[in-house]
Structure 1
């Protein structure tokens, strides 16, 4: 059995690591938060330093806040590649730019270490129940090696292509998800302000063409005023910034995404960045002077 490393035990990473552990994998985990590590130890998972994971683990999975942290964990002092003995494959499941993924691939290739960028979609609920979607970029053989682990943590995995292509797919996913939440938000602020019951409108339209997984996942949270994060606005704000930076480099016009970034900037000013991204609706509510919730609340 291969020893598996897992670095990053946040909202997404913790349940993903637990699913690997409960599937019987020989796993060693790490996070920067000592409180998280103490809690995870109590659930039975063995904890090691990043350098220990680099020395002892054949395959290493990471899901971290941004590309700079990813590079520090891989290449920094005490990082995964700091010791002479290094992992065979490093799989980064973070949401970063394609250029950052390609840079990691090139630098690791010189060390004889394979790299796969395999970000995920599905949020905390699907991380918990093991039904995430993986979009992988890297060598075909390395993606096949990782596939059994993707199948433990998720319900689907697709190799998109070479290095960086998984990150491209993730950014496209983030455009669609966040613009969909914005569209749902604008629509239901319209419903509320115009005088209809948002819950009944939801039930009326969810089975038609306007129905979507985003609508079903996010509108019930909005109606309950529950913005407990499964995917923070802060994280999605970072992703949309990565989209726009990549689009600028490639000379790709993205007018709606650019406007969404400004909506998120306003939510930053109003102190909503730690909310779930269903909380995007608060921007539109403030413009219209209404609050979308279940009737009677």
Structure 2
């Protein structure tokens, strides 16, 4: 196996890096949080500076909070391009806008360095068990180099098209996931307020057309009042903002998504941004004066 760099050891990144290590990959990691790096060392993962990752590794994976941080890690002082060896592919698994992915691709292409945008879906549980889905934008050559590692960290990967295509797919994914959670939230606030048993209603509808992976993953958490984050509202709020910025650039009206962004703004005011995104239900509960679960 090639030597793998991995930058960003958050909720998603740490289990992904661990899965690479357990599969026998030689992994060198970096994170901005020294406490996270200390825990990585305790788990047997080698750590180094960003420039060391660029200098020593054949392929680099990143999963970072936003596009500005991605650009700083790649192009900033002491960043990957200050020491990177060639040939190399940088794979950005962060949730960013297509324009940000295309910016990175164009600059790196001029340096003779490959780039793929490959955001993921599945949240922390699937990062832990290695069943993430990868949505990939880039060229075929870069994809083939990265594919064996996608197969370690996930259960599926699809090369969608050129640079930015993976990020476009992620935006579509986030619209569907978050609006689905909002729809489940509205529905079960109705169920509770109108006097039916939410658990029995869930049992009744989950096998029909209303059934979905979102319903099965999130409603049990809601019923237990478990808002421990697998995917924080804060991260999804940022993703929905990226959706609306891209839609504005493309002159695409997205009325439901725009309303969802305002729901998330209200959850920010009420201090719920660190909750799992199933915590979206708390907005609807407050409107109705009821608590589901």
4+ residue runs over 4 A deviation: none
Alignment correspondent of 2:134: 134
Please give the TM-score of this superposition, normalised by the length of structure 2. Answer: 0.99
Further displaced range: 78-87 or 216-225:
78-87
What secondary structure does 1:81 align onto? helix
Offset of residue 141 of structure 1 = 1.3
Instruction: Show structure 2 runs of 5+ residues with no match.
Output: none
Offset of residue 85 of structure 1 = 3.1
Deviations 1:262-296 (A, max 9, x none): 00000000000000000000000000000000xxx
Deviations 1:159-208 (A, max 9, x none): 00000000000000000000000000000000000000001110111011
Deviations 1:51-109 (A, max 9, x none): 00000001000000000000000000010001263560000000000000000000001
What secondary structure does 1:134 align onto? strand
Contact in 2 for aligned 1:55/1:86 (Cα 8 Å): no
Contact in 1 for aligned 2:51/2:84 (Cα 8 Å): no
Contact in 2 for aligned 1:206/1:216 (Cα 8 Å): yes
- 2:241 is equivalent to residue 241 of structure 1: yes
Alignment correspondent of 2:117: 117
Alignment correspondent of 2:30: 30
- 2:197 is equivalent to residue 197 of structure 1: yes
Alignment correspondent of 1:291: 291
Matches within 5 A, 1:141-160: 141-160=141-160
What secondary structure does 1:182 align onto? helix
Deviations 1:136-159 (A, max 9, x none): 000011101111000000000000
- Alignment length (residue pairs): 293
Instruction: Show structure 1 runs of 5+ residues with no match.
Output: none
Alignment correspondent of 1:219: 219
| Gap change, CA 1:189 and 1:42, over 3 Å in 2 | same
| Gap change, CA 1:150 and 1:203, over 3 Å in 2 | same
> How far apart in 2 are the matches of 1:236 and 1:175?
9
> How far apart in 1 are the matches of 2:23 and 2:216?
29
* CA RMSD of superposed structures (Å): 0.8
Contact in 2 for aligned 1:19/1:130 (Cα 8 Å): yes
> How far apart in 2 are the matches of 1:204 and 1:235?
32
Alignment correspondent of 1:42: 42
| Gap change, CA 1:86 and 1:74, over 3 Å in 2 | farther
Alignment correspondent of 1:176: 176
> How far apart in 2 are the matches of 1:84 and 1:60?
10
